A and B are shown apart, each in its own frame.
Chain A
């Protein structure tokens, strides 16, 4: 899976979870950039990303990710 495909699939997940087809993500995107991205939706987002990429985040990672770029790094390493 190359970086482009990863970003495309991850964008779809974001759009599904936040029900907003205009969302565009970059490595620098954080929860502050997306209006509905609160701690509750973060849980849904994590679950949906895990489903999409057939992987599981470790507990430390779930709370430790600071932006989408960090999330993409983990997916690139372990996602399918």
Chain B
């Protein structure tokens, strides 16, 4: 039911929970029944009734046991006869900051605080152990929201006697114990309260009036979070993310615009948004989600779009590719058959509201996707693929990464600047202009002012002429480092005159200054000149108000100054045979990445 899917209207759910329940009961046929005990450290009545709605929407009919007000600890350690008879499958321990049994204060010693923290943690461990031994149930455990006021101000976060610092450490310790215990799952209200806004979440009026630990308008948010964990425990996660292509994975229509004109990469705001989203989609593979394509397209065009060099996804990332003109619901049903899964395990990401409406009618999930900037959040927060356990291999991988991280941190004091540059793990692709990049090369030449020796502007046609002509040598440079892909960042154009080359353009994006990219470009330029029998390269610097930083560029590159005029224009020369040593120390050029 749309009203219970992210992004939902919390106020509406609270107000209409009675009629929502009535309508849900009419439209949903539950596939399983679970007995859930809600043991709270504060009022839980509306939490139970809203949790019931979200679970029902997941196909889970819940029977509830609700303990007497704030009796969570007694019930967990010494279950009442009612709870014993109820035999819960799942216990939701709804606790939080209001239930701390110990709080630090400025008069305490560090040892006292550490002791208090450990005894708080062992209190929770005892409850889980008792519940598991009594019922063999799963436990969903809240962590702690941050306090809404700070006695020590900002130091509350750094000083061990501060409550912010304490709660932060308490949450980490709780997480450790949750990981170590089996069958205990985190409900991260620390994260959720930040998402909702801590001031609003912690509005104390709801505690004073009703003994609710949170603002009641966030009860749906809290319950949705817990419901996601519970449905994941019950094996009701989605397994497949089916993706539309045009205006979903990239901006533009590949069939109309051509793959080279799609909006994806690092050059514009929208392109970056699509790129980040593609990266997120790709990362879903790491938690075991299968990716498929479901797009109205010619397959050939779909593949061309997926092979876009600026994209993060590759055709091989997809288990099934359905690019044709059949209705999407049919394609999704066929995808389910081919993968041997139930159709309701598929989520469709599609920017077209009409398509979403149709596939929803056939029982598939299809969240709203109306603005590329929101795509990641809409999919992520919906919790279709909520992780409750990663396999042993995955866990081992995490440990391996942790060890590597530590190694890197230990090396984090760099011996010198080159050492730092090497730590960036840079890979450059330097090659003659390609049709795919012509638009971008013209755009970059049009807007680069600082690292630009001639400040010459080009139309796309002029760029194409130079790319296709034997009279010109062209090079573009793309740079990837460990923090990501910087895209096309440098370009050089030279006109061939016999055995000389006159450089008419040399520019670089300022976002990669001081990386040695200009040296890498020079190396490739010299190599190309040698191949073409060119003996001398001439460089020209024309000063403008903005390009002082490259006045001496050619000198730094090893050119010799030939002449200068009154206006500061300078001409430089390099003998190709004289360039024998590369000054590039850290960039791997034209190698396979990693």
Interface of A toward B, CB cutoff 8 Å: 13, 16-19, 36, 40, 43-44, 47-48, 51, 59, 62-63
CB distance from B395 to the nearest CB of A (A): 42
Q: Which of B157-165, B209-217, B510-518, B569-577 contacts A (4 or more CB under 8 A)?
A: B209-217
Q: Which 9 A-B pairs have the closest CB atoms?
A: A19-B18, A48-B15, A51-B11, A19-B19, A40-B45, A16-B15, A43-B210, A47-B216, A62-B209
- 23 CB < 8 A contacts A-B: A13-B15, A16-B19, A17-B18, A18-B18, A19-B16, A19-B18, A19-B22, A40-B46, A43-B216, A44-B46, A44-B216, A47-B11, A47-B15, A47-B216, A47-B217, A48-B11, A48-B15, A51-B11, A51-B15, A51-B217, A59-B208, A59-B209, A62-B209
Q: How far apart are the CA atoms of A52 and B19 in the complex, in Å?
A: 18
Q: How far apart are the CA atoms of A40 and B210 in the complex, in Å?
A: 9
Q: In chain B between 432 and 482, which residues have their CB closer than 8 angstroms to a CB of chain A?
A: none
CB distance from A75 to the nearest CB of B (A): 16
Q: How far apart are the CA atoms of A47 and B214 in the complex, in Å?
A: 13
CB distance from B201 to the nearest CB of A (A): 14
Interface status of B205 (Cβ within 8 A of chain A): yes
When C-beta atoms are compared, the residue in chain B nearest to A15 turns out to be B19
CB distance from B415 to the nearest CB of A (A): 60
Q: Is the interface of A mostly helix, strand, loop or mixed?
A: helix
Chain A residues lying within 8 Å of B11, measured Cβ to Cβ, are 47-48, 51
Given the known interface contacts A19-B22, A59-B205, the answer about A44 and B210 at a Cβ–Cβ threshold of 8 Å is no
Interface of B toward A, CB cutoff 8 Å: 11, 14-19, 22, 45-46, 205, 208-210, 212, 216-217
Q: Is the CB of B14 within 8 A of A48?
A: yes
Chain B residues lying within 8 Å of A18, measured Cβ to Cβ, are 18
Q: How far apart are the CA atoms of A48 and B208 in the complex, in Å?
A: 19
When C-beta atoms are compared, the residue in chain A nearest to B9 turns out to be A51
Chain B residues lying within 8 Å of A51, measured Cβ to Cβ, are 11, 15, 217
Chain B residues lying within 8 Å of A48, measured Cβ to Cβ, are 11, 14-15
Chain B residues lying within 8 Å of A63, measured Cβ to Cβ, are 209
When C-beta atoms are compared, the residue in chain A nearest to B217 turns out to be A47
A17: contacting residue among B15, B22, B205, B209, CB under 8 A: B15
CB distance from A49 to the nearest CB of B (A): 9
Q: How far apart are the CA atoms of A49 and B212 in the complex, in Å?
A: 18
When C-beta atoms are compared, the residue in chain B nearest to A17 turns out to be B15
CB distance from B38 to the nearest CB of A (A): 14
Chain A residues lying within 8 Å of B16, measured Cβ to Cβ, are 16, 19
CB distance from B30 to the nearest CB of A (A): 21
CB distance from A4 to the nearest CB of B (A): 22
Q: How far apart are the CA atoms of A36 and B49 in the complex, in Å?
A: 14
When C-beta atoms are compared, the residue in chain A nearest to B49 turns out to be A40
Q: How far apart are the CA atoms of A58 and B208 in the complex, in Å?
A: 12
CB distance from A59 to the nearest CB of B (A): 6
CB distance from A38 to the nearest CB of B (A): 10
A44: contacting residue among B15, B19, B208, B209, CB under 8 A: B15
Q: Which of A13, A16, A17, A43 has the most CB of B within 10 A?
A: A43
Q: Is the CB of B22 within 8 A of A47?
A: no
Chain A residues lying within 8 Å of B22, measured Cβ to Cβ, are 19
Q: How far apart are the CA atoms of A7 and B205 in the complex, in Å?
A: 27
CB distance from A70 to the nearest CB of B (A): 17
When C-beta atoms are compared, the residue in chain B nearest to A16 turns out to be B15
Q: How far apart are the CA atoms of A13 and B16 in the complex, in Å?
A: 9
